Amino acid sequence: MVSANTELAYNSKIEGDVVVSRADAVINWLRSSSLWPMPMGLACCGIELMAVGASRFDIARFGAEVMRFSPRQSDCMIVAGTVTYKMAPHVRRIYDQMAAPKWVIAMGACASSGGMYRSYATLQGVDRILPVDVYVSGCPPRPEALLDALIKMQAKVKREPSARGLLVRA
Among 9, 139, 163, 167, binds ligand SF4 (CB under 6 A): 139
Task: Select 25 or 51, whichever has its Cβ closest to ligand SF4.
Answer: 51
**Minimum gap (Å) between residue 111 Cβ and ligand SF4:** 7
**Minimum gap (Å) between residue 98 Cβ and ligand SF4:** 22
The CB density around residue 13, as the number of other CB atoms within 10 Å, is 9
DSSP the chain: ---TTPPPSS-EEEETTEEEE-HHHHHHHHHHT---EEEEE-STHHHHHHHHHSTTT-GGGGT-----SSGGG-SEEEEES--BTTTHHHHHHHHHHSPSS-EEEEEHHHHHH-TT--STTB-S-GGGTS--SEEE-SSSPPHHHHHHHHHHHHHHHHHS-GGGGGSPP-
Site string for ligand SF4, 76-95 (x = CB under 6 A): -----xx-------------
Question: Does residue number 143 form part of the binding site for ligand SF4 (CB under 6 A)?
Answer: no
Residues 100-129 that bind ligand SF4 (CB under 6 A): 108-110, 115
Question: Does residue number 44 form part of the binding site for ligand SF4 (CB under 6 A)?
Answer: yes
Question: Does residue number 140 form part of the binding site for ligand SF4 (CB under 6 A)?
Answer: yes
Site string for ligand SF4, 12-41 (x = CB under 6 A): ------------------------------
Binding site for ligand SF4 (CB under 6 A): 43-45, 81-82, 108-110, 115, 139-140
